[in-house]
């Protein structure tokens, strides 16, 4: 048994597909299947039920998942020990945070010209692991997080915008009330891959005393905007930063929810006590300003405490 086999095992357990896990790990499907088979042979048990089209972990596989996750965290921490400390701050995020991050980085570089600031694209789970291991200093997320050794700092609020086809019955308006959307199917990726968005929308509908009508989940090779164009009575939601970064195409209508019920907190995840660093604290405030220009700027840090 080695770290590689456990990484492959976790990828399959998360994706529930050997082919998608292989894509995620940048290897062939036959190679990942071979390594999982070797792991099963060594453990003397079957880890996945392959009898149906959907791959599912067996009882033994489910018991192995938390152990494999712990081993993976230990591997990341062990690798971080050997790295030389650098005068740098590393930010982990996804591409939707790039515009605000670049603006904040420019502000920090003007204050700390010798500081090396890196912006690294990672999945949600990898972002959190990178901060926990010390490989990154700050992870940008939407929503909140409760994990020992880590803390969240509020950066702002982001709206979810309602997107429909221009043929949708509600598309004539610039704002729309959730109650008026209750009769139409909402198209989203599966809940397992977008828990936050599903929860925000469901809670908002509860607030207005209605129930959201979910349509078929968006396929992995589709986009929400494509599906609402091909389903003119359907609707979806997109983060405001995504819509502004990609101008709406003909055939689409973008609207705000009339009562600002579709709002998501944006947070930074850091190690406990990390914001005592003057440079990181300056970056956090620069991110707040980039995400909400009305945020009053923080006072400059004490020059004697400068440094990452």
Please state the pTM of the whole predicted model.
Answer: 0.64
- 134 and 282 co-located in one domain: yes
- The reported pLDDT for the residue numbered 298 is 47
- 251 and 166 co-located in one domain: yes
Structural domains counted in the chain: 3
- 107 and 161 co-located in one domain: no
Q: Which residue bears the tokens 């949600």?
A: 124
- 276 and 142 co-located in one domain: yes
- 165 and 231 co-located in one domain: yes
Phi, psi of 49 (to 5 degrees): -90, 115
Alpha-carbon distance of 193 to 80, in angstroms, equals 29
- 141 and 193 co-located in one domain: no
The residue among 81, 97, 114 that closes a domain is 81
- 152 and 271 co-located in one domain: yes
Rg (CA), the chain: 22
- 162 and 151 co-located in one domain: no
How many residues in the chain?
Answer: 308
Q: Residue 287 is part of a domain; what is its CATH number? A: 3.40.190.10
- The reported pLDDT for the residue numbered 200 is 93
Which helix (H) or strand (E) covers residue 141, if one does? strand 138-142
- 169 and 292 co-located in one domain: no
The residue among 22, 55, 81 that closes a domain is 81
pLDDT along the chain (308 residues), means of 10: 86 87 84 90 90 83 89 74 69 89 91 90 89 92 88 92 93 90 93 88 93 89 84 92 64 91 93 87 92 55 36
- 163 and 255 co-located in one domain: yes
Phi, psi of 215 (to 5 degrees): -90, -170
- 189 and 243 co-located in one domain: yes
The residue among 46, 81, 116 that closes a domain is 81
Q: Residue 59 is part of a domain; what is its CATH number? A: 1.10.10.10
- The reported pLDDT for the residue numbered 215 is 92
- 176 and 244 co-located in one domain: yes
Phi, psi of 165 (to 5 degrees): -70, 155
Cα 274 to Cα 145, 179, 263, 277, 300, distances in angstroms: 16, 43, 27, 6, 18
Q: Which domain holds residue 99?
A: 88-156+264-305
């Amino acid at each position: 048994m080695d770290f590689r086999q456990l990484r492959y095992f976790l990828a399959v357990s998360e994706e529930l597909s050997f082919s998608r896990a292989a894509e995620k790990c940048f290897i062939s499907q036959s190679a990942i299947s071979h390594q999982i088979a070797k792991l099963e042979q060594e453990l003397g048990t079957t880890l996945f039920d392959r009898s149906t089209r959907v791959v599912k972990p067996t009882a033994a596989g489910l018991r192995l998942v938390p152990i494999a996750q712990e081993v993976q965290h230990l591997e990341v921490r062990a690798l971080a020990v050997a790295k030389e400390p650098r005068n740098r701050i590393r930010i982990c995020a996804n591409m939707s945070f790039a515009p605000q991050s670049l603006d904040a980085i420019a502000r920090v570089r003007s204050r700390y010209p010798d500081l090396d600031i890196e912006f690294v694209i990672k999945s949600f789970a990898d972002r959190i692991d990178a901060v926990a291991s010390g490989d990154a200093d700050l992870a940008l997320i939407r929503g909140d997080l409760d994990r020992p050794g880590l803390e969240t700092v509020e950066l702002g609020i982001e709206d979810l915008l309602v997107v429909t086809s221009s043929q949708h019955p509600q598309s004539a308006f610039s704002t729309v009330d959730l109650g008026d959307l209750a009769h139409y199917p909402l198209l989203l990726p599966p809940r397992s891959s977008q828990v936050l968005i599903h929860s925000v929308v469901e809670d908002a509908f509860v607030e207005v005393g209605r129930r959201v009508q979910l349509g078929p989940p968006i396929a992995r090779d589709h986009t929400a905007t494509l599906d609402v164009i091909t389903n003119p009575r359907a609707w979806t939601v997109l983060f405001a930063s995504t819509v502004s970064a990609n101008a709406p195409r003909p055939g689409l209508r973008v609207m705000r929810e009339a009562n600002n019920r579709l709002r998501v907190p944006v947070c930074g995840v850091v190690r406990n006590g990390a914001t005592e660093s003057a440079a990181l604290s300056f970056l956090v405030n620069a991110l707040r300003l980039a995400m909400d220009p009305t945020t009053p700027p923080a006072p400059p840090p004490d020059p004697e405490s400068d440094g990452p």
